[in-house]
């Protein structure tokens, strides 16, 4: 499994697991827990969740999936923007830790930018680092101007990552955010790497995948994994999907396949507003 290194030297698998919408349907619970556990077995040990997902139900499901294996997992959660003030951040983090059944997060992200000034959020996050509640912090859904403002805020340069919508059909960040992150040795976390399964219906992607003996999901993931400094976090609530996705880590793209994917899904020709879900 390819690994990606944070600026502090910590490395994580380039292929992790998302959990949005997990824990919401009791009938799917056992399958979802089984899928996450199988993913850990297969080396997808980075797990991404958020206080928002299922209003905490996703974090509780993750707790069950990683029970007895906390040390094998790189655990990521996110705080709502309205909880990212110095007054509310500590309580929000404590609630996530309780739901996750752990005493420390490996990475804690501001889910998107709200009305709380960055200076306040950074101060609150740094207090959580000092208190040993989180090992590092980052952001999500910040555009290039937001990132410049964050880095101009005292302590803001400590942001470990920006988690962004990134997949074959959504390549806008290649214009600015991705090269800027690389210059800073800051990994980017690619969310919705198979475009919430929409990419799987693309006939041309399917044809190309068939040619190389892969599935469309595997080719879409292999393309994300081929990018330096990018961590992909597909969500799969079924063991079969997890196993299929894990095998994407073993696919090596040739220059010819890269060029044909570029022709089908062109890179940006200029700046564009940040796409978010």
Q: How far is CA 6 from CA 14, 77, 121, 185, in A?
A: 11, 17, 21, 7
Concerning whether 80 is annotated as a catalytic residue, the answer is no
**Binding ligand NAP by CB under 6 A: which of 95, 200, 212, 239?**
200
Q: Lay out the site mask for ligand NAP across 258-277 (x = CB under 6 A, - = otherwise).
A: -------------------x
CB of residue 144 to ligand NAP, shortest distance in Å:
17
Candidates 64-72, 97-105, 148-156, 189-197; binding stretch for ligand NAP (CB under 6 A): 189-197
SS3 for 73-99 is: CEEEEEECHHHCCCCCHHHHHHHHHHH
Of 53, 108, 166, 191, the catalytic one is 53
Q: Does 196 bind ligand NAP (CB under 6 A)?
A: yes
Looking at 83-91, 147-155, 188-196, 205-213, which segment touches ligand NAP (CB under 6 A)?
188-196
Pick from 166, 170, 118: which is nearest to 139 by CA? 118
The interface mask with ligand NAP, positions 58-87, x = CB under 6 A, is ------------------------------
In the complex with ligand NAP, the residue whose CB is nearer, 112 or 270, is 112
Binding piece for ligand NAP, criterion CB under 6 A, among 81-89, 123-131, 169-177, 186-194: 186-194
- What the block records as the tokens of 146 is 């937001």
Q: Which residue is nearest to ligand NAP (CB)?
A: 18
Binding mask 109-128 vs ligand NAP (x if CB under 6 A, - otherwise)? --x-----------------
Cα 72 vs. chain centroid, distance in angstroms?
Answer: 18
* Euclidean distance between CA atoms 74 and 72, whole angstroms: 7
163 sits near ligand NAP (criterion: CB under 6 A):
yes
Q: For residues 25 and 61, what is the distance between their CA atoms, to the nearest angstrom?
A: 11
- Using the rule CB under 6 A, which residue among 20, 74, 137, 265 binds ligand NAP? 20
Say how far apart CA 255 and CA 243 lie, in whole Å.
Answer: 26
Query: Roughly what angle, to the nearest 10 degrees, separates helices 89-100 and 118-130?
Result: 50
Smallest gap from Cβ 262 to ligand NAP, in A, equals 20
* Positions in 202-241 near ligand NAP (CB under 6 A): 217, 233-238, 241
Handedness of CA 117, 118, 121, 124 (dihedral sign): negative
Phi and psi angles of residue 47, each rounded to the nearest 5 degrees, phi first? -120, 125
Rule CB under 6 A: is residue 48 a binding residue for ligand NAP?
A: yes
Q: Where are the alpha helices (DSSP H) in the chain?
A: 29-41, 57-65, 89-100, 118-130, 144-151, 177-183, 203-211, 216-225, 239-247, 255-264
How far apart are alpha carbons 142 and 57 in whole angstroms?
26
For ligand NAP, the closer CB: 87 or 210: 210
Active site residues: 53
Q: Which residues bind ligand NAP (CB under 6 A)?
A: 18-20, 48, 111, 140-141, 163, 191-197, 200, 217, 233-238, 241, 244-245, 277
């Amino acid at each position: 499994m390819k690994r990606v290194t944070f600026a502090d030297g910590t490395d994580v698998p380039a292929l992790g697991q998302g959990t949005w919408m997990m824990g919401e349907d009791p009938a799917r619970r056992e399958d979802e827990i089984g899928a996450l556990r199988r993913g850990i077995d297969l080396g997808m040990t980075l797990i991404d969740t958020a206080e928002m997902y299922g209003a905490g139900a996703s974090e509780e499901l993750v707790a069950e999936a990683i029970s007895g294996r906390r040390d094998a997992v790189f655990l990521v959660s996110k705080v709502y923007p309205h909880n990212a003030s110095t007054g509310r951040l500590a309580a929000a983090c404590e609630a996530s830790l309780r739901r996750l059944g752990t005493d420390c997060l490996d990475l804690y992200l501001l889910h998107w930018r709200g009305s709380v000034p960055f200076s306040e959020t950074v101060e609150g996050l740094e207090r959580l680092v000092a208190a040993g509640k989180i090992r590092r912090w980052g952001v999500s859904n910040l555009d290039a101007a937001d990132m410049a403002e964050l880095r101009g805020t005292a302590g803001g340069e400590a942001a470990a990552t920006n988690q962004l919508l990134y997949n074959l059909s959504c390549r806008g960040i290649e214009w600015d955010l991705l090269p800027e992150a690389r210059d800073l040795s800051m990994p980017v976390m690619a969310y919705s790497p198979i475009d919430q399964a929409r990419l799987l219906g693309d006939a041309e992607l399917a044809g190309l995948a068939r040619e190389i003996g892969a599935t469309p999901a595997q080719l879409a993931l292999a393309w994300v994994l081929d990018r330096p400094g990018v961590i992909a976090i597909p969500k799969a609530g079924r063991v079969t999907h997890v196993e299929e996705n894990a095998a994407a880590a073993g696919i090596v793209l040739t220059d010819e396949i890269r060029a044909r994917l570029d022709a089908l899904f062109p890179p940006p020709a200029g700046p564009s507003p940040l796409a978010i879900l």
